[in-house]
Amino acid sequence: MEARAEIRISGIVQGVGFRPFVFRLAVRHLLKGFVRNMGDAGVQIVVEGNRGNIEKFVEALRSEQPPLAKIEELQLSWQPPTGEFTDFQVSPSNRTSLGLPSVIPPDLALCDDCLREMLDRKDRRYNYPFITCVNCGPRFTIIEELPYDRVRTSMKVFPLCPDCLREYLDPVDRRYHAEPTACPVCGPRLELYHPSGEILPTQDPLVEAAKLLDEGHIVAVKGIGGIHIATKTTDDEVLARLRKMFDHPQQPFAVMAKDLDTVKTFAEVSPEEEEMLLSYRRPIVILNRSSGYNLSELVAPGLDTVGVMLPYSGIHHLLLRAGKDPAYVMTSANVTGLPMIVDNEEALTKLRNVVDYLLLHNRTIVNRCDDSVVKIIEGKPAFLRRSRGFVPEPIKLAFNSGLSVLGLGGDLNVTVSILLGNRCFLSQHIGDTTKVETLEYLQDAAARLMHLLNLKKVDIVAHDLHPDYATSRLAPRLAEKFGARPIAVQHHHAHLCALMAEHGIEEMVGVAADGVGYGPDGTAWGGEIMVARLDSYKHCGGLMKQPMPGGDLAAIYPARMVAGILWGHLDREELDQLLQDYCPSGFKHGARERKVVLHQLERGLNVFLSSSCGRVLDAVSCLLGICSQRTYEGEPAIKLEAAARGGDASEAEIDPLIEKIGGRLTLNTSRLLLDVLSALKKRVPRRHIAAAAQLAIARGLGLMAREVAESEGIKTVGVSGGVFCNRAITTALRREVEGAGLKFIRHEALPPGDGCLSAGQAVVAAKVKMTQ
């Protein structure tokens, strides 16, 4: 029986070879009709033919879809046949929305087929670094608007040559409607620049750049989502110069190695880490150093790990194949907290005095996108940064609010999110919004994401509760612009709701542990136990509130936290001597500064209270002589984790002491630090003390969460916050929770750090609005 069907599909179905797949499938099932992209609405398919063939065709759409496609919703409607079609065609895109939001695919690492062709001397794209097909290449970073067609990407300025056009129009070719496709005749080009802006004459800019790197030069390299700064990883002198030029005295640099075998010469790689390294997403993966580690200590000072990624573009593959070093530093070209440089003119201006050469191409980066960073904990990913390779894939929600919500995030490590229907779209990593340039970037990223989702306004603008965050001050202005309602969301409630949204639940006992978040009592929270629901929370306990002498200075110089935590437990002279003996480099101005700090504590002058878990870890790190000054976010705690590797917690007597203070469960962190001091005086090796302190914090948080879960009759405990990038703490807390027969959940699709805040804010705001 002849029939006609209209099929509407939403999900990741644009930019992943879906239309060529549909064409081949329709021809195979003897169907006539068309397939086309539909603006923000995904893909529309209309077919006529035998009804049984159409049913098999629809079944095959799901079962045989391209590996990078993801069908989230398929709507099928049967209609009387019209006989209007003579064959099956891929029709031009229609920008009319069908009301089913589509998803732009993330940027995809170079596929094996394209890599093979690029290295084949007989292929017309031999050594062409911008080679791509429907299965790989840039997507999000080049798209200007939907539907995803070449004319709406930054490739529109590169008209296809006859050979490329023939491939582009051939339904059986791998480059059929591959929008970024190009070749040396018609595509983007690389040039090697001197910092003065002069183009250096060279037959092969990539080979010359590799030679310059091996000679010890610093080279800026423009890739897919931005510009990297590259150097050798085996040369202390050039790494020291790089650190001085970019004012990164201690911050670990990510490195790129040409293949997995090379990575295994200097790092340990588990099966899960190998899978992540080789995936089409190609994030930076945090790996433990191996016993054969042969890179400079200046790559990641004071750490037992190294952040590694494999090449994900033709530029990277060719550069590393031409070089001799086992790996090269590939760090973002930006001052800490500022947006990564993506524009050639900006690079030539801002990098003039800090790099020796620049390898730049002439394809515009529409949406800058930093590299993602992932750490595998107990076989599952924990994101330090979710960006290239993952953005803008949404998180699917267990509810549909019917609202559109813009979440602005917090202060540091910011992302923005847009909640639309039953999906939440997170932006790429944005950074530190205390910087004007980054706040402007946030607004631009939000506007671009809204544009891609065909949104001209939103119903709600959600933001952090902290009144002084730049994003909190921006929220009312954006709300007025969109005719929306601003809603403030408590920092740690947002953390926990992002986790619940990720796992599709509406209630849990949450452990939120990080550096700082504004509490409704006006103090700095950061180690909290809550009963969390998507529209509300109950604060049940947490870490003891401790004085921070000098406020934010105590977050930079953790010796101040040592003083604050131990104040009142040692007499003034004894505390002063302890700080002198164990934290000698923790006070820039020596005895005079210590005297001022102790005076502040005595009089309560410029002293703020905080229950931050991050600040306690900082204090332990400082007291153990591991880190006395924070030069990058989380540094003392990260180095504490490194120092604890191989430690035996049973060698130090450090146990959690939980008390009831003000009706809430409280972990006594002063007692914990006194136990650390006692172990030090007994000359227990530092690695054992570090391991024991981390374990005590994890067990203390876990025991409090267990007690709250039992009293509230809740069976799930979840954790969120930057502290849960720590492998030992996360693992120990899980064991404590599961030991009581409770379900333990943590982030796997979103960062546990502040990169998840915007999603949590959007979810809370939508739920609050729904209940009103």
118 compared with 10, residue with greater pLDDT: 118
For residue 392, say if its preceding peptide bond is cis, omega within 30 degrees of 0: yes
Is the per-residue pLDDT at 343 higher than 50? yes
Indicate the SS3 state at residue 678.
Answer: helix
For residue 147, say if its preceding peptide bond is cis, omega within 30 degrees of 0: yes
In this structure, what DSSP letter does residue 740 have? T
Per-residue confidence band for 96, with pLDDT thresholds at 50, 70 and 90: low
Asked if 635 contacts 556 with a C-beta cutoff of 8 angstroms, the reply is: no
Position 554 scores a pLDDT of 97
* pLDDT tens digits, 453-494: 889 999 999 999 999 999 999 999 999 999 999 999 999 999
Catalytically active residues are: 19, 37
Burial class of 646 by CB neighbour count within 10 A (0 to 12, 13 to 18, 19+): exposed
Closest CA to 76 of 101, 52, 102, 54: 54
Dmax (CA) for the chain in angstroms is 95
Closest CA to 525 of 509, 547, 542, 540: 542
Mean pLDDT is lowest, of 334-348, 668-682, 704-718, for 334-348
Question: Any alpha helices (H) in 583-685, and if so which ranges?
Answer: 590-603, 613-623, 635-644, 669-681
Place of tokens 């025991």: 703
* pLDDT tens digits, 361-397: 999 999 999 999 999 999 999 999 999 999 999 999 9
Rounded mean pLDDT of the chain?
A: 95
Q: What phi and psi, each to the nearest 5 degrees, are found at residue 115?
A: -65, -40
Distance CA 586, CA 99 (A): 58
Instruction: Decide the pairing of beta strands 88-90 and 32-37.
Output: parallel
Per-residue confidence band for 271, with pLDDT thresholds at 50, 70 and 90: very high
Asked if 358 contacts 195 with a C-beta cutoff of 8 angstroms, the reply is: yes
Rounded to two decimals, what is the model's pTM? 0.94
* pLDDT tens digits, 397-454: 999 999 999 999 999 999 999 999 999 999 999 999 999 999 999 999 999 999 988 8
In this structure, what DSSP letter does residue 755 have? G
For each of the domains in the chain, give its residue range(s) and CATH number, in order of start: 2-90 (3.30.70.100), 104-187 (3.90.870.30), 190-373 (3.90.870.40)
Distance CA 162, CA 185 (A): 10
Distance CA 464, CA 754 (A): 11
Is the per-residue pLDDT at 325 higher than 60? yes
Is the per-residue pLDDT at 100 higher than 70? no
Position 39 scores a pLDDT of 60
Q: Which element (helix H / strand E) includes 501? A: helix 491-503
Beta bridge partners of 502: none
Per-residue confidence band for 12, with pLDDT thresholds at 50, 70 and 90: confident
Percentages helix, strand, coil for the chain, rounded to the nearest 5?
35, 25, 40
Asked if 757 contacts 518 with a C-beta cutoff of 8 angstroms, the reply is: no
Closest CA to 183 of 129, 135, 145: 129
Closest CA to 543 of 461, 607, 613: 613
Position 71 scores a pLDDT of 85
Number of H helices, E strands in the chain: 23, 30
Is the per-residue pLDDT at 40 higher than 70? no
Other beta carbons within 10 angstroms of residue 262's beta carbon come to 17
Please, how many CA atoms are within 13 Å of residue 592, restricted to the half-sphere of its CB?
A: 2
Asked if 38 contacts 97 with a C-beta cutoff of 8 angstroms, the reply is: yes
Q: Which element (helix H / strand E) includes 665? A: strand 664-667
Name 190's Cβ contacts closer than 8 Å, sequence gap at least 6: 129, 205, 206, 315, 359, 360, 361
* pLDDT tens digits, 173-216: 999 889 999 999 999 999 999 999 999 999 999 999 999 999 99
Distance CA 290, CA 306 (A): 10
Position 98 scores a pLDDT of 44
Say what angle helices 669-681 and 613-623 make with each other, to 10 degrees.
Answer: 10
CB < 8 Å & 24+ apart, contacts of 261-267: 262/326, 262/327, 263/287, 263/308, 263/310, 263/327, 264/290, 265/290, 265/292, 265/294, 265/326, 266/290, 266/292, 266/293, 266/294, 266/295, 266/306, 266/326, 266/327, 267/293, 267/306, 267/308
Distance CA 458, CA 406 (A): 7
Is the per-residue pLDDT at 97 higher than 60? no
Indicate the SS3 state at residue 298.
Answer: helix
Position 569, amino acid? H
Asked if 611 contacts 561 with a C-beta cutoff of 8 angstroms, the reply is: no
Closest CA to 249 of 202, 298, 213, 285: 298
Per-residue confidence band for 38, with pLDDT thresholds at 50, 70 and 90: confident
Measuring CA to CA, how many Å separate 142 from each of 312, 369, 537?
16, 11, 41
Report, as an integer, the average pLDDT of 48-69: 91
Give the DSSP per-residue string, 446-499: HHHHHHHTT-S--SEEEEES-TTSHHHHHHHHHHHHHT-EEEEE-HHHHHHHHH
Distance CA 362, CA 189 (A): 6
Share of the chain above pLDDT 90, in %: 90
Indicate the SS3 state at residue 379.
Answer: coil
First to last CA, the chain: 52
Distance CA 152, CA 139 (A): 11
Report, as an integer, the average pLDDT of 96-121: 82
Share of the chain above pLDDT 70, in %: 98
Is the per-residue pLDDT at 158 higher than 50? yes
Size of the chain, expressed as the number of residues it contains: 772
Place of tokens 């599709």: 504
**Taken in order 481, 409, 422, 45, is the CA torsion positive or negative?**
positive
In this structure, what DSSP letter does residue 356 have? S
